[in-house]
């Protein structure tokens, strides 16, 4: 792709973990020049263990890194000089932290009125606004964990869905503000709220209650809108989700399975009737599927337009034939020189995917380059490095 959509837009990012970095990643993949400001020791997300081990590498691609001591006057002056050149500023620290550093919206807007300032917080304005939040916190209080787990066993979703989606909404706000700035010439303060994001995800269940007057049951015990919409076990022990959401799919499934008796059963003539008899129907289908080979049946299901999905583990996606053939995975060089495959944004522009354009940055890898572009001389940069104000990577 010769010219990316956000080419020429400069973003300064001061964020960690997932929500803010996800916003920066979206903008960076779209072509923005994203400069991540890290503490001298580096973003602590770089070294998280366990479930957090992949956070930094997936959400910080296509970004430059500068490392600055923001507790020093010289470090603050350098970052302010950088923000003066920016179109967008991203942050996701606790409420009040940016004001303490002299980097709140009012302070930066007075210096750079065209700046779009996007904050990623646990809560938007209201009684909860000063609380700290995590993805798991808002999943518990926003209805998502209740709907995901069995009755009495709230369970968070298996990915940082709110953090990622909150970063996406931050990026959407930035895109809208950039368009508005083209008309008004003025920047805008944007807040993306983690809790409110989760409430949006639960909105369909809120409206289910509003429509039916009945409290929605958690997903494992829900009353399904469709008769065949479940995970089944096959002869080799594999599991596969199979759905037949309409009469045409039901008829096709019965034909594939050679089940004329089910097809001609008058008590199963419509989806509503099949839902009424769902426990019996699923038990019968379970017995049938348990005798069949999953891969062989999958071919027939695809040919006949019946939704299905093998149950996959995340590590198996590296070898997914569709992702491999369609370019959904791309090679990213990491900060230690090794390579990994990463999923790209689920977008194509003119039939082309948005690729990694540079290696994952080392801590402070671009400090010299960025400071030099702001008019800092080589000797001045070297002096600030010697004084422990700047850190240079590589």
Coil, helix or strand at residue 294 = helix
| Residue 181 near residue 116, CB atoms below 8 Å | yes
**Interior/surface letters 70-92, b for 16+ CB within 10 angstroms, e for the rest:** beeeebbebbbebbeebbbbbbb
Contacts made by residues 1-6, CB under 8 angstroms, sequence distance 24+: 1/349, 1/350, 1/352, 1/354, 3/31, 4/30, 4/31, 4/354, 5/30, 5/31, 5/349, 6/30, 6/31, 6/32
Contacts of 295 (CB under 8 A, 6+ apart): none
| Nearest-angstrom CA–CA distance, 360 and 59 | 10
Catalytic, out of 29, 87, 163, 335 = 163
| Nearest-angstrom CA–CA distance, 382 and 66 | 14
Contacts made by residues 375-382, CB under 8 angstroms, sequence distance 24+: 375/81, 376/78
Element containing residue 68 per DSSP (H, E): strand 63-68
Coil, helix or strand at residue 118 = strand
Contacts of 254 (CB under 8 A, 6+ apart): 260, 262, 263
| Nearest-angstrom CA–CA distance, 72 and 135 | 32
- 163 a catalytic residue: yes
| Nearest-angstrom CA–CA distance, 119 and 107 | 14
- Burial class, 157, CB count within 10 angstroms (exposed 0-12 / middle 13-18 / buried 19+): middle
- Between helix 161-184 and helix 194-212 the angle, nearest 10°, is 100
Residues with a known catalytic role:
163
């Amino acid at each position: 792709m010769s010219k990316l959509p956000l080419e020429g837009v400069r973003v300064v990012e001061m964020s960690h973990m997932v929500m803010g970095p996800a916003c920066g990643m979206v903008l960076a993949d779209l072509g923005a020049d994203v400069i991540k400001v890290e503490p001298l020791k580096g973003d602590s997300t770089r070294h998280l263990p366990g479930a957090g081990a992949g956070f930094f590498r997936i959400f910080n691609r296509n970004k430059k890194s500068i490392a600055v001591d923001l507790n020093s006057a010289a470090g603050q002056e350098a970052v302010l000089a950088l923000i003066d050149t920016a179109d967008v500023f991203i942050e996701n620290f606790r409420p009040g932290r940016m004001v303490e550093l002299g980097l709140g919206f009012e302070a930066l807007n007075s210096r750079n009125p065209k700046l779009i300032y996007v904050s990623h917080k646990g809560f938007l304005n209201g009684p909860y606004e000063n609380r700290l939040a995590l993805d798991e916190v808002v999943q518990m209080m926003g209805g998502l964990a209740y709907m995901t787990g069995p009755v009495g066993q709230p369970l968070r979703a298996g990915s940082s869905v709110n953090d990622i989606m909150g970063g996406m909404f931050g990026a959407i706000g930035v895109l809208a503000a950039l368009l508005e700035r083209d008309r008004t010439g003025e920047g805008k303060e944007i807040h993306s709220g983690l809790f409110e994001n989760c409430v949006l995800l639960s909105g369909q269940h809120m409206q289910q209650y509003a429509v039916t007057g009945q409290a929605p049951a958690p997903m494992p015990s829900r009353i399904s809108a469709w008769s065949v919409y479940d995970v089944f076990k096959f002869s080799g022990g594999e599991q596969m989700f199979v759905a037949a959401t309409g009469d045409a799919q039901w008829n096709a499934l019965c034909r594939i399975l050679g089940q004329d008796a089910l097809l001609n059963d008058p008590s199963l003539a419509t989806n509503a009737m099949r839902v009424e008899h769902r426990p019996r129907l699923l038990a019968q289908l379970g017995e049938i599927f348990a005798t069949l080979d999953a891969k062989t049946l999958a071919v027939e299901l695809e040919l006949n337009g019946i939704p299905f999905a093998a149950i996959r583990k995340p590590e198996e996606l590296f070898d997914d034939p569709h992702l491999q053939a369609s370019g959904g995975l791309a090679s990213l060089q990491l900060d230690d020189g090794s390579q990994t495959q990463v999923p790209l944004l689920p977008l194509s522009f003119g039939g082309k995917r948005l690729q990694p354009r540079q290696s994952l940055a080392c801590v402070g890898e671009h400090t010299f380059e960025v400071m030099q572009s702001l008019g800092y001389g080589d000797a001045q940069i070297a002096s600030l490095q010697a004084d422990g104000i700047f850190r240079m990577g590589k």
